[in-house]
Structure 1
Amino acid sequence: MRLLCGLLLLLCLVVWAAEARKGGKGRRMRGRDRSSTVKRFAADCKESTVNGEKFFDCQDRHLTAVLLGWPEDIHHLLLARNRIKVLRDNTFSQFRNLRSLDLQQNEISRIEEGTFNGLSRLTTLLLQHNRLHVASEGMLIPMPQLKYLRLHDNPWRCDCELDSLVRFIQVPSNRNVGNYARCAEPREFSGRQLKKLDAELLCSPQTDELILHPDNQPLPAPQKKSDATSLCHTYVHPVPRLDCRKRDLKTVPADIPLDIVRLDLSRNSIKQLRPKEFVSVKDLKLLNLSGNSLESIDTAAFTGLLYLGELDLSNNSLRYFQYGVLEDLYFLRKLSLKDNPWICDYNIHYLIYWLKHHPGVSYTGLVCSEPEEFRGWPVENYVKTYNAECPKDKQLSQLSGTNPADNAPQEFTAEIDEEELGPIPYRAPKKFEIIRLT
């Protein structure tokens, strides 16, 4: 009996030891899985260096939070187009050198007051296109160098909880903070810009009964306006870029940020370019206007774009350029012109003339659409044909007695009768030359 009990006890000890080893192994495996997951997510992000500053690009990664294992010496953190909903205290405290933080196009609905602790060097914070109803000035205190704060396209609830933030935005020195952000509720403030709202009314318990100042009268639901900040998406990496694709724009949007280097206005419904449309965007190097309905471009439309290097005008309704349209584009290197109904007549000559005198510009798609006899011809070939059809010099053929079809340069001399000459000092037979230039 004792032997049987001993055997049973030994068997239990063996089973227990096996389970313990299995459990420990499972825990170690789970630990390795977690570690590899962090590394995998970290590896998906792209680290790069531009002009000595480190960028960490984690855009479009389906992230719901900031992960462990990211480099801490980065200067720019890009987290746009993820699924982050809440920003917790000290989320970014390890990134002490951070200068810009891009959190636009997430699902952020709440920011805790200590979220940005440690970001004493941050100058740019992008929070547009999220779901924020309320925020306070307290969250901005850890960022004394903050100069650019974008808050538009959030459903702001303009009541007493937003009072401190509104007052901070309206400080005169904060001219690039909170521009274009608007109230979504309550009804009496709907559509009103936070920058222009009377902050004294936010904490009033009888808001509905107040006789409002004309600048604070209730507005109808905000209408969609063609301003770049509210309609388009702004990116800072690798260069400042404004994406206005497929926004159903009828005109070039107003208030394009001054530091934009690349501007994409493709696939809209813009029919004409008016004078000085881009005069404020002096650093623009790439402009994409393809896929619009462009029919005409004013001669001063591109005024000020001295550094533009690439211009895409493909897939529009352009027939010719007015004289002078391209005169300001001194550094243009690439011009896309395909899929436009170019008309091959005298009006097209300016474009060919300009391209001839700017051999460094590569261009594509310049093909005749009309008239029928030139359809499908390269425009430059049409222009050569046009210039070859010089009228025959009938006077030359009569004076020289040569075949009118002879294209060789010819010279001859003739004498003028004395009766046709002037006063005596000039009455001497003189010879003149007629040279035919083909």
Structure 2
Amino acid sequence: MRAIPPLLLFCLFLLLLPSIQMKKPGKGRGLKGARHKLTRDRARGPRRHSRSGPSGLVSPNCLESPESGHVFVDCQERRLSFIPTANTWSNKPKHLLLARNRIKVLHDGAFLGYENLDSLDLQQNQISLVEDGAFQGLTKLTTLLLQHNRLQTLSEEVLIPMPNLGYLRLYDNPWNCLCPIDSLVRTLQVPSNRNLGNHARCAKPIWLKNMKLKHVDPELLCKEPDLANNQQSNETGYTGALEPSSIRSKPDATTVCFTYHYPQIRMDCSNRGFTEVPSGIPDNVVHIDLSHNSISHLKARDFHAAKSLRTLNLSNNNMEHLDKGSLTGLLHLQELDLSNNNLTFVQHGVLEDLYFLLHLKLEGNLWVCDYSIQYMVYWLSLHPGVSPSGLVCYSPLEYAGESVEEYVKAYNRECPKQQSRPDQDQTDPKLWNTLMEAQAELEEEELEPSALRVPQKYQIIRLS
């Protein structure tokens, strides 16, 4: 047998080497393994990451819904720490709601692909940094909400990509009013920007604390601390290093409450420790929640500016009294919640402006079933479209748990009759007119001076 030359053996080895490698553990299983890997990768989709967070991750339960022809994406309170990419949604959103999440930084290009956005709600996050190109591409944006975050500084360049921005909220951030914020302050103070940055205030330095950014002198921001402090002292009379004492006044709803603009303007003022209705409720607010506070007395004109209000929640306060006129002007109110308070009755006239009320919640109050409760039942009888709940007698004990409406019906059926008196002279109809005439003549003589009295020139004729 002829021996195989070494060169030929080497060539055969090279030809067989690829098939040997494909069968090694961990390297797949030939063509079949390669196809399986390709199918698996296609099912998983591309693995792309952005600086704002993983693009493929979407918070569960984010809601896409059309409203008046606009697409709303509601990702509020979903524990998000990143901005979902625009291709996440089936339609390009017009309004993006990201309030009450855990977003800390807005990186450059965070909203690329969201070029159709009209409003962006980022309030009540933990945002402490906004990079200059974060809002790049948002040329149609008109409303940006950044209140209730942790921003200390912000550059004017952040706002440049949004030429149509007309409404910007920045309050309740710890603004550090020093040189880095100079350009922002100058932008906010341009007269045409009257709705940008209203109510935002300095948190430091001490000589500018609580001053609105709209009112800060931009020349002070980049000066040396001693020089700026001296100039501020000369202008305002502030001479010490102590914090300026705040004047006690009625709380302002715009800065203290959480305001949500889409799909309808809503204010959440619950659990804020209010002892009275706050001032400054805007006239375009549709829903307001003042529950779980300590408001004991509703005063006249408390809601005189809230002309668009549809729902008002005053439950779980210490409400004891509603002044006449306290609900004046709420002509479009549809739902009023007065449950779980200390109300015993509602005085006459309180409900007169509530022409379109549909739901009235009254449970959990101390309703006293006596004559004073009848106004409520009478008003409800004139407004059959109203659906009341919880109007149940609390006292007196014999009526506790009984429906107030049933109590009033029974009260009217059993109206006490007038008792007759034994004195026949007062009950005899034949003598009653004579006695009254005599008493009238006697009273007239007593009131008229004796010098002016003249004999009677007329005669009383009784017609039978």
Shorter-normalised TM-score: what interval? 0.7 to 0.9
2:191 match: secondary structure: coil
Contact kept? 2:57, 2:84, Cα under 8 Å: no
User: What residue number does 1:126 align with?
Assistant: 145
Residues 246-273 of structure 1 show CA distances to partners (whole Å, capped at 9, x for unaligned) of 1222111222233211101111111111
Q: C-alpha displacement at 1:236, in angstroms?
A: 2.2
- Partners of 1:382 and 1:105 in 2: CA distance: 49
Q: How does 1:237-248 map to 2 (within 5 A)?
A: 237-248=262-273
Which residue does 1:220 correspond to in 2? 243
Q: CA deviation at 1:61?
A: 2.7
Measured after TM superposition, the shift of residue 85 of structure 1 is: 1.9
Counterpart residue number, 1:335: 360
The residue that corresponds to 1:409 in the other structure is: none
- Check conservation: 1:197, 1:216, Cα contact below 8 A: no
Is 2:39 aligned against 1:13? no
Report the CA distance shift for 1:289/1:23 in structure 2 as closer, same or farther (over 3 A): farther
The alpha carbon displacement at 1:318 in A equals: 0.5
CA distance in 1, matches of 2:362, 2:324: 17
> CA separation of 1:169/1:318 partners in 2, compared to 1, >3 Å: closer, same or farther?
same
- What is the CA distance between 1:227 and its match in structure 2? 2.1
Offset at 1:347? 1.5
**Equivalent residue letter for 1:33:** R
CA distance in structure 1 between the aligned counterparts of 2:105 and 2:131, rounded to whole angstroms? 8
Equivalent position of 2:63 in the other structure: 46
Listed as ranges, the matches of 1:162-181 within 5 Å are 162-181=181-200
Is 2:79 aligned against 1:62? yes
Q: Provide the C-alpha distance between the structure 2 equivalents of 1:322 and 1:148, rounded to a whole number of angstroms.
A: 42
- The percent of aligned pairs where both chains have the same amino acid is 48
Alignment of 1:32-431 (within 5 A): 32-33=43-44, 41=58, 44-63=61-80, 64-69=82-87, 70-71=89-90, 73-207=92-226, 209-212=229-232, 213-214=235-236, 220=243, 226-392=251-417, 430=464
Structure 1 runs not aligned, ≥5 long:
400-412, 418-425, 431-438
SS of the equivalent of 2:288 reads strand
Decide which structure has the larger Cα Rg and report it: 2
Per-residue deviation, 1:113: 1.9
Matched letter for residue 356 of structure 1: S
Tell me which moved more, 63-72 or 236-245.
63-72
Structure 2: 5+ residue stretches without partners: 1-5, 48-53, 434-459
Query: Number of residues paired by the alignment?
Result: 415
One-letter code of the match for 2:384?
Answer: P
The answer to whether the 8 A contact 1:288-1:313 is kept is: yes
Q: Report SS of the residue matched to 2:28.
A: helix
Report the CA distance between 1:308 and its aligned residue.
0.4
Amino acid in structure 2 at the alignment position of 1:256: I
User: Which stretch shows the higher mean deviation, 9-18 or 342-351?
Assistant: 9-18
Shift of 1:117: 2.5
CA distance in 2, matches of 1:329, 1:182: 38
Distance 1:30 1:85, change over 3 A: farther
Which residue of structure 2 aligns with residue 421 of structure 1?
none
TM-score, normalised with respect to structure 1: 0.83
* CA distance in 1: counterparts of 2:303 and 2:42, whole angstroms: 55
- 1:422 aligned partner: none
Task: Find the aligned partners of 2:13 and 2:245 in 1 and give their Cα distance.
Answer: 84
After superposition, the Cα gap between the structure-2 partners of 1:428 and 1:184, relative to the gap in structure 1 and judged at 3 Å, is: closer
Which residue number in structure 1 is paired with residue 440 of structure 2?
A: none
**Which amino acid is the alignment partner of residue 204 of structure 1?**
K
CA deviations 1:93-117 (Å, max 9, x no partner) are 4223221110111221111222223
Deviation at 1:202, TM superposition (A): 0.8
Query: What SS is found at the alignment partner of 1:48?
Result: strand
Q: Deviations over 1:329-357 (max 9, x none)?
A: 11111100001001112221211111111
Q: 1:60 Cα shift?
A: 2.3
2: CA distance between counterparts of 1:375 and 1:39?
60
How far off its partner does 1:290 sit? 0.5
Instruction: Evaluate the alpha carbon distance shift between residue 32 and residue 230 of structure 1 in structure 2; reply closer, same or farther with a 3 A threshold.
Output: farther
C-alpha distance in structure 2 between counterparts of 1:98 and 1:320, whole Å: 49
Counterpart position of 1:404: none
| Secondary structure at the counterpart of residue 405 of structure 2 | helix
2:341 match: secondary structure = coil
- Counterpart CA distance in 1 for 2:242 and 2:382 is 55
Distance 1:307 1:249 in 2: 25
AA aligned opposite 1:257: P
Q: 1:353 to 1:209 in 2, by over 3 A?
A: closer
Shift of 1:201: 0.8
**Aligned residue identity for 1:75:** K
Alpha-carbon distance in structure 1 between the residues aligned to 2:259 and 2:133? 26
Query: Normalising to structure 2: TM-score of the pair?
Result: 0.78
Instruction: Note closer, same or farther for the CA distance 1:313–1:18 as it changes in structure 2 (3 Å cut).
Output: same
Q: CA deviation at 1:363?
A: 0.4
Deviations 1:126-159 (A, max 9, x none): 0011111111222212223222111111111110
1:28 deviates by 6.3
Note the C-alpha offset of 1:313.
Answer: 0.3
Change (3 A) 1:331 1:219: farther
| Distance in 1, Cα, partners of 2:309 & 2:172 | 25
1:123/1:147 contact within 8 Å kept: yes
Contact 1:191 1:222 (C-alpha < 8 Å) held by counterparts:
no
Distance of 2:184 and 2:415 partners within structure 1: 74
